[in-house]
C-alpha cells in the first residue's frame, strides 16, 4: 500500500500553477473565458510556453497551433511518450476542464527535473488547440487535424461569429507553427482530465481508470404539424408538433433507461415555432443523441429510435424528418496503457474504478494513431462547462501523481 517510491509531485506547486493559468480569462464568477486562438488564449499560451522553457523543455508548434514541449530521454532512438490536454475553455467555463491535464503535465516535468530523473524515452507535453469548439463550432479541432479526422484546409476555413477564420486567428496570435499537423510516431499518450460527470464523486473514488470512449450517434429532428389557434382548434383538428416532440423526448429517455446505467440518451436543444402562447406549435426542431460503451447498442438504439419516433409522428398526423448528423464508433483505449494507470492507482493506494468516457476528449482522436489512456479525477457535483466547476487540490494532486507514475513507467519500460 505504501508507494513504491517517494517520487512525489508537488501538489501545492501544481495548484498554484493551475490558479496562475486561471488568471488568463478569469471571470467575475470565478470561472474562465479563454476562447481558442483569442488574445486571452495567446497570453495563456505564452505563459505556458515560458514555464515550459523555464523547465528546460523545447517547445514546437504545429500548423494548427498544437504545442509540443519536449523533455529529452536517454535513448534518442525511442519514441516519445506524450501527455497533455487543452488550455482553451468554454465561453463560461471553469478553471480545470483541459487546464488540469496540461498543468499536471508541467508538474510531471518539474518533478522529473527536481528528482534529476532521465527517462529512457523522451516525454512530450501537448496543448491541443481548440478542444471545446465554442468559437469555431468544431470541437476537438487541433487533435482532429493532427489525427487526420479533418483536413487542415477545412479547419483553416472555419469562421467565428465575427467572420474571423481559424487560419487568420492562428496568424493573429502567432501560433501557426512550421511543423505539419499530422501524426508522428509516438509510444503512448496519457491525458488527465476531470470526469465532468458525477460517478467518481458519488462513489468516493479518487481515480477513474478510463477504459475507452463511448460510441455516439447524433440526430437532428424536425417535426412538422400545423400551427393553428389554440382557442379555436378542436382536438380532432390538431396536429400539434410539440405534443409529438414531447412523446419523442419521453421515448429517448425510455430507450436510454432500457440500457441501464451505461445508457445515455438526451434531447438538449429544442426550438418551437411559432412559439406563441395561444398558437398550437406547427414545427419543433430538436437534437437527439445516444451514447453507449458498446457500439452495437448504439446501432440498435438508433434503429429503435427512428422506427418509434416515425410511428409517434404518424399517429398524430405530423411529418417527421430524422437526419443523422454523425455516428462515432466506440474507442477502446490501449490495454497496456490503461493497465499502467490501474497499477499506478493501486500502488499509490488511491480508490479507483474503471469508467468509460462519456465526453469527447482529444485522447479519443489521438488513440487512432497512438496507444492511449486517460485518467479521470472527480469534480464537484459532476459540474463542468460552468464557471462553478470545482475540484479539490488533493484530487488534482492524486490525478497528477498517477499521471507521473504512468508516464514514468511507460518511458522507462523495457522494449
Would you say 49 or 380 has its CB closer to its own copies?
A: 380
CB of 269 to its own copies, least distance (A): 5
- Give the C-alpha separation, 138 to 131, whole Å: 8
CB of 388 to its own copies, least distance (A): 11
- Can you give the length of the chain in residues? 415
Would you say 19 or 237 has its CB closer to its own copies?
A: 237
Would you say 74 or 254 has its CB closer to its own copies?
A: 254
Backbone dihedral angles phi then psi of residue 348, each to the nearest 5 degrees: -85, -5
- Give the C-alpha separation, 392 to 377, whole Å: 10
- What single string gives the DSSP state of each residue in 67-84? EEEEE--S-TTSPPEEEE
- Give the C-alpha separation, 248 to 235, whole Å: 20
**Grid cell of 31 as nine digits:** 470561472
Name residues whose C-beta falls within 8 Å of residue 214's C-beta, 6 or more positions apart in sequence.
Answer: 264, 291, 292, 293, 298, 330, 356, 357, 358
> What string of H, E and C letters represents the secondary structure of 330-344?
CEECCHHHHHHHHHH
Would you say 72 or 332 has its CB closer to its own copies?
A: 332
Residue whose entry in the numeric block shows the C-alpha cell 477564420: 165
Beta strand 123-128 with 67-71 is antiparallel
Would you say 263 or 397 has its CB closer to its own copies?
A: 263
CB of 313 to its own copies, least distance (A): 14
> What string of H, E and C letters represents the secondary structure of 344-389?
HHHHHCCCEEEEEECCCCHHHHHCCCCCEEEEEECCHHHCCCCCCC
How far from each other are the two terminal CA atoms of the chain, in whole angstroms?
28
Neighbour count for residue 339 (Cβ, 10 Å): 14
Would you say 262 or 339 has its CB closer to its own copies?
A: 262
CB of 143 to its own copies, least distance (A): 17
CB of 360 to its own copies, least distance (A): 7
CB of 13 to its own copies, least distance (A): 29
CB of 129 to its own copies, least distance (A): 20
Would you say 76 or 235 has its CB closer to its own copies?
A: 235
CB of 346 to its own copies, least distance (A): 24
**Grid cell of 51 as nine digits:** 514555464
Would you say 155 or 256 has its CB closer to its own copies?
A: 256
- Whether residue 10 contacts residue 111, with contact meaning beta carbons closer than 8 Å, is answered with yes
CB of 357 to its own copies, least distance (A): 8
- Residue numbers at the binding site for its own copies (CB under 8 A): 195-199, 202, 214, 216, 218, 227-237, 240, 242-243, 245-247, 249-250, 253, 256-257, 260-264, 266-270, 272, 275-281, 287, 289, 291, 357-360, 382-386
CB of 259 to its own copies, least distance (A): 8
- Give the C-alpha separation, 313 to 322, whole Å: 11
Neighbour count for residue 178 (Cβ, 10 Å): 8
Would you say 287 or 299 has its CB closer to its own copies?
A: 287
* CA 371 from centre of chain: 18
Name residues whose C-beta falls within 8 Å of residue 396's C-beta, 6 or more positions apart in sequence.
Answer: 11, 14, 15, 18, 96, 100, 104, 377
**Grid cell of 176 as nine digits:** 501557426
Would you say 250 or 296 has its CB closer to its own copies?
A: 250
Amino acid at each position: 500500500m505504501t508507494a513504491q517510491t517517494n517520487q512525489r509531485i508537488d501538489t501545492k506547486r501544481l495548484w498554484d500553477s493551475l490558479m496562475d493559468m486561471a488568471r488568463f480569462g478569469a471571470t467575475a464568477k470565478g470561472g474562465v473565458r479563454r476562447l481558442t486562438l483569442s488574445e486571452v488564449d495567446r497570453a495563456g499560451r505564452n505563459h505556458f510556453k515560458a514555464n515550459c522553457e523555464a523547465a528546460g523543455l523545447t517547445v514546437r508548434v504545429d500548423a494548427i497551433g498544437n504545442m509540443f514541449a519536449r523533455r529529452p530521454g536517454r535513448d534518442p532512438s525511442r519514441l516519445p511518450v506524450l501527455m497533455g490536454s487543452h488550455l482553451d475553455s468554454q465561453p463560461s467555463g471553469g478553471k480545470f476542464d483541459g487546464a488540469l491535464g496540461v498543468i499536471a503535465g508541467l508538474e510531471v516535468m518539474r518533478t522529473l527535473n527536481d528528482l534529476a530523473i532521465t527517462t529512457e524515452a523522451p516525454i512530450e507535453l501537448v496543448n491541443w488547440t481548440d478542444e471545446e469548439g465554442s468559437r469555431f463550432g468544431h470541437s476537438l479541432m487541433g487533435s482532429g487535424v493532427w489525427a487526420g479526422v479533418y483536413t487542415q484546409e477545412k479547419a483553416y476555413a472555419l469562421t467565428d461569429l465575427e467572420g474571423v477564420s481559424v487560419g487568420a486567428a492562428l496568424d493573429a496570435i502567432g501560433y501557426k507553427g512550421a511543423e505539419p499537423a499530422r501524426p508522428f510516431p509516438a509510444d503512448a499518450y496519457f491525458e488527465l482530465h476531470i470526469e465532468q460527470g458525477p460517478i467518481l464523486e458519488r462513489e468516493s473514488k479518487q481515480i477513474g481508470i478510463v477504459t475507452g470512449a463511448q460510441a455516439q450517434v447524433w440526430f437532428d429532428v424536425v417535426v412538422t404539424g400545423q400551427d393553428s389557434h389554440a382557442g379555436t382548434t378542436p382536438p380532432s383538428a390538431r396536429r400539434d408538433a410539440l405534443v409529438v416532440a414531447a412523446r419523442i423526448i419521453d421515448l429517448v429517455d425510455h430507450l436510454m433507461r432500457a440500457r441501464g446505467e451505461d445508457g445515455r440518451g438526451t434531447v438538449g436543444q429544442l426550438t418551437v415555432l411559432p412559439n406563441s402562447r395561444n398558437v398550437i406549435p406547427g414545427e419543433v426542431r430538436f437534437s437527439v443523441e445516444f451514447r453507449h460503451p458498446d457500439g452495437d447498442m448504439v446501432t440498435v438504439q438508433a434503429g429503435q429510435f427512428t422506427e418509434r419516433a416515425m410511428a409517434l409522428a404518424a399517429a398524430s398526423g405530423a411529418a417527421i424528418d430524422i437526419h443523422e448528423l454523425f455516428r462515432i464508433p466506440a474507442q477502446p483505449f490501449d490495454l497496456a496503457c490503461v493497465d499502467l494507470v490501474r497499477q499506478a492507482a493501486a500502488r499509490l493506494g488511491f480508490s479507483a474504478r474503471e469508467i468509460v468516457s462519456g465526453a469527447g476528449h482529444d485522447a479519443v482522436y489521438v488513440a487512432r494513431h497512438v496507444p492511449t489512456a486517460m485518467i479521470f479525477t472527480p469534480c464537484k457535483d459532476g459540474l463542468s462547462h460552468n464557471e462553478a466547476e470545482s475540484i479539490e487540490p488533493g484530487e488534482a494532486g492524486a490525478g497528477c501523481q498517477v499521471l507521473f507514475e504512468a508516464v514514468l513507467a511507460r518511458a522507462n519500460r523495457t522494449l
